[in-house]
Chain A
Amino acid sequence: MDKPINNKAWLFVLPVLVLVAFSAVIPLMTVVNYSFQDTFGNNQFFWAGLEWYREVLSSERFHNALWRQFLFTGIILAIQIPLGVAVALAMPRKGWGVPVCLVLMALPLLIPWNVVGTIWQIFGRVDIGLLGYTLFNLGIDYNYTQDPLDAWITVVVMDVWHWTSLVVLLCYAGLVSIPDAYYQAAKIDGASRWAVFRYIQLPKMHRVLLIAILLRFMDSFMIYTEPFVVTGGGPGSATSFLSIDLVKMAIGQFDVGPAAAMSIIYFLIILALSYVFYTVMTNAGRER
C-alpha cells in the first residue's frame, strides 16, 4: 500500500519531539559530551577521546560493581518471578477476598522508595528495629551495617517485599482474563493441576510475564534509593551496585568524565540486555 506523504504531519509530532528533547535527548547528550572530555572546573574542557571509557572498562571497581549488579538482579528475578506467579495463582478470583488482596498487594508499591528504605533501615536495626531486635534476641548474629552477607540479605528481602507485588498484580491480571470455559474444558479433558498451569495459565500469562520480567530487570538493574538509604552501599562497598557506585564517583569524587563514561556504558548495558531479553522471550513464545 502506498501511504501519502504529508510533511504537515511533522507539526503534530513537534510538541512531543520538543518535550522528549528537553527531558531525554539533551541531558543524555550532555552526558555524552562530558564522557569525551576532561575538566578541572572553571567550565574549561579538554578533549579526552576514549580515555574515560578505557579507564572505566578496565577498572576493577567497575567490574566489581557490575558483578554485584548482575548477582543482585539475578537473585531478585529468581525470587520475585516464581513467587509472584505463585501468589497470583493463590489469590481468590471472586468474592470479598479480591479487593482485600489487591489493596494489600498494592500497598508496598504506593510507598515512596526512600521511605521503603527508611522502613527497612529501622526495621532491621538491632537496637530499636522489630526485625533486628527479634533476631538479636533469638541469638542470631544479625547486623546489616557490619556483615556484608546480612546487608545483602536485607537489601534482597526489602526488594522482594517492595516489588513482588508488581509481578503478582501483572500475573493476576493475566489470570483473571482467562475465560472459565478453559478450566471447564481442562476438567473434561482430565487435565491435572500442573497441566492446567502449564498449558492454560502459563501460556495466557506469557505476555504479562514478559513485561513483568522486563520491568523487574530494568528497575532492579538501576536500583539506587533503597540500598542507599539502608546500607549506603556498605559495609565497605559490599552493596555498592552500579548506580550507587556511579553517584559516589560523580558527586562524591567529582570525577565527571569517568562518571559520564560509566553512565553511557551502564545505559548501553541495560538497553542491550533488555533488547536481548525481549527478542529471546518473544521468539520463545512464537516457537512453542
Chain B
Amino acid sequence: MARIDLNGLGHSYLKRPQARADWALKRMDRTWDDGGAYALLGPSGCGKTTLLNIISGLLTPSEGQILFDGQDVTHLPTAQRNIAQVFQFPVIYDTMTVYENLAFPLKNRKVPADQIDARVREIAGMLELKDRLHRKARGLTADAKQKISLGRGLVRSDVAAILFDEPLTVIDPQLKWMLRSQLKHLHRRFDYTMIYVTHDQTEALTFADKVVVMYEGEIVQMGTPEELFERPAHTFVGYFIGSPGMNILPAEVEGARARVAGHEIALPGRFGRPAGTTKLEIGIRPEFLRLGRAADGEGVPAHLKAVEDVGRFRIARTRLGDYEVAVMCDEHDEIPADDLRVVFDPQRVNVYADGHRMEGEA
C-alpha cells in the first residue's frame, strides 16, 4: 500500500506539443492517499486511461514526477512498481489453470513454492475461486476471469496500488453489483489503495471514497460523492454527475443577485466578476428546484415543455427564457400547466466564472 503523489505531471502523445490541446494530460499536482478508494470518472477521451497507464508505468509521462510513498518511480518499469492492474477485458493466461494463473506473478518473482501455494489458496478463498482452482482458466465466465486477473494482482503481498480500467464493462448487470460490493469489501478489509477508471457515474459513486472527475485532460474536481453533488467545482462536473445533470444558465451577477433572462435570482452570497472572465453562469441541480404558481408570488416564470416519469419521481422539462431547465418533482406533486413558476433554493445556487465555481462572500 502506498501514497501516490503526482508532481507537475503532464503527458502528450506528440513529440513536440505546442498548443494546450496537444496535451492528453495537462500539468497536475495531486496526492492520492494511502488506502483510499478512488474513482477516475470522465467521458471517453478525457485522459483517464492515460493517467492510469502513467501510474502503472506502461507510459512514461512527458513531464513531471510520480512518487510512491515519497520515492520517485517516474522511470521505473512496470514490473518494479508493485502495481496490479485489472483491464477492461479479462486478461488471463488461456493455457494455465486458475491456480497457475494466480501463481504466475509470484513464480516470475522467484518466490519459494510453499509460500506461493499458501498465498494462492488464501487469495482464491477471498475471491471465492477455491472450488475452481484446478480448472482451465479459459472455460470460465467473464466475471470469474475478471476475478482471476484481480487475483493475480492481489497475490503479491507488496502491492502498492490496484488499478482498474473499466473492469466491469463485459460483466452482466446483475453480476456487476456483486463484484463491485466484493471489491468494496476487499478494500475495507485490506486497505488497498485502489484507483478505478470508469465512465459510469453510478459505478464511481458507489465504489469510491473520493471521485476524481476528469475533463479534457484535466482533473476538474476530486471530492466525495456529496461534494460532487452539492458543490460541483466545474460546470462539467455539474452536468456529468447526476441524472439529469445540473441546470447551467448564463447569467449576469451583481452582488447577491443573478439575472437570468431578465429575471432576478437570489444567490447564497455576494459575488464579483473576476477580471478577464468571459462567461458567468449559475448552476442549480434539478433536485433543488421546485415548481410553483404565479399566485404564490415567488419564483421565475417558465413554460412547461414535457414531463418525464422516471419511477419514484418525475422530471419537468421547462423553458425559462431561452434556456431549458429541468425540475425534479415528487411523484404525487401537482404540476401546474400554466402560470408556472420555477422556485430556486438560494443556498443551492452555484456561480461559475468560465466554468469554474466561485465562493461567495457573506
Contacts and interface: CB of A to CB of B under 8 A. Distances in A.
A195 interface: yes
Interface string B282-300: 0000000000000000000
A28 B84 CA distance: 61
B85 A185 contact: yes
A185 B91 contact: yes
Contacts of B58: 184, 187
Interface in A148-194: 179, 181-182, 184-185, 187-192
Contacts of B108: 189-192, 195
B321 interface: no
A185 B57 CA distance: 12
B83 A188 contact: yes
A227 B94 CA distance: 42
A47 interface: no
B79, B93, B109, B153 — most chain A CB neighbours (10 Å): B93
Contacts of A181: 87-89, 91
Given A187-B77, A188-B79, A189-B152, A203 B94 contact: yes
A94 interface: no
Contacts of A275: none
B56 A200 contact: no
Contacts of A187: 57-58, 77-79
Given A181-B87, A195-B108, A188 B78 contact: yes
A204 to B, nearest CB: 8
Q: Is the interface of A mostly helix, strand, loop or mixed?
A: helix
A179 B79 contact: no
A3 B350 CA distance: 66
A8 interface: no
A197 interface: no
A191 B78 contact: no
A56 to B, nearest CB: 44
B105 interface: yes
Interface residues of B, number: 25
Nearest to A286: B136
Contacts of A192: 108
A189 B79 CA distance: 7
B55 to A, nearest CB: 12
A199 interface: yes
Nearest to A184: B58
B12 interface: no
B106 to A, nearest CB: 9
A207 to B, nearest CB: 11
Interface string A4-39: 000000000000000000000000000000000000
B104 A191 contact: yes
A283 to B, nearest CB: 14
Contacts of A185: 85, 87, 91, 149, 152
A188 B153 contact: yes
B87 A200 contact: no
A199 B96 contact: yes
Contacts of A182: 91
Contacts of A189: 79, 104-105, 108, 152
A199 B101 CA distance: 10
B56, B87, B91, B109 — most chain A CB neighbours (10 Å): B91
Nearest to B105: A189
A188 B56 contact: yes
B109 A190 contact: yes
Contacts of B79: 187-190
Contact of B95 (A188, A190, A288): A288
B75 to A, nearest CB: 15
Contacts of A179: 89, 91
A174 B56 CA distance: 27
Nearest to B53: A184
A269 B348 CA distance: 84
B50 to A, nearest CB: 13
B57, B58, B83, B95 — most chain A CB neighbours (10 Å): B95
A185 B94 CA distance: 13
Interface of B: 53, 56-58, 77-79, 83-85, 87-89, 91, 93-96, 104-105, 108-109, 149, 152-153
Given A185-B152, A190-B79, 10 more contacts: A179-B89, A181-B87, A184-B85, A184-B91, A185-B85, A187-B58, A188-B56, A188-B105, A190-B108, A191-B108
24 contacts: A179-B89, A182-B91, A184-B56, A184-B58, A184-B85, A184-B87, A185-B85, A187-B57, A187-B77, A187-B78, A187-B79, A188-B84, A188-B105, A188-B153, A189-B105, A189-B152, A190-B79, A190-B108, A190-B109, A192-B108, A199-B93, A199-B95, A199-B104, A288-B95
Which 3 residue pairs of A and B lie closest in terms of their CB atoms, listed nearest first? A190-B108, A181-B87, A189-B105
